[in-house]
Amino acid sequence: MVNSPSDNPVSERYRKLKVDAMPIVEKRQLYDYRQLLNEYF
């Protein structure tokens, strides 16, 4: 097998990896299902 030029990696300058800001994680408000049922009906 002959090593053709296309098999060699190309030495190019790549852009640096950009990372987005961390996501905002909000705490969920926990509800009492019995109280919600009483308010609904």
Q: Write the pLDDT tens digit of every residue in 1-11.
A: 555 555 656 66
* pLDDT per position as a tens digit, 1-41: 555 555 656 666 777 888 889 889 999 889 999 999 999 88
Amino acid at 11: S
Among the residues of 1-41, which ranges form H helices? 33-40
| 33-40, long-range: CB < 8 A, 24+ apart | none
| Cα 22 from chain centre | 9
pLDDT of residue 16: 81
State residue 39's pLDDT score: 92
DSSP string, 1-25: ----GGGSPP--PPPPP--PPPPP-
| pLDDT the model gives residue 32 | 92
Distance (Å, rounded) from C-alpha 29 to C-alpha 36?
13
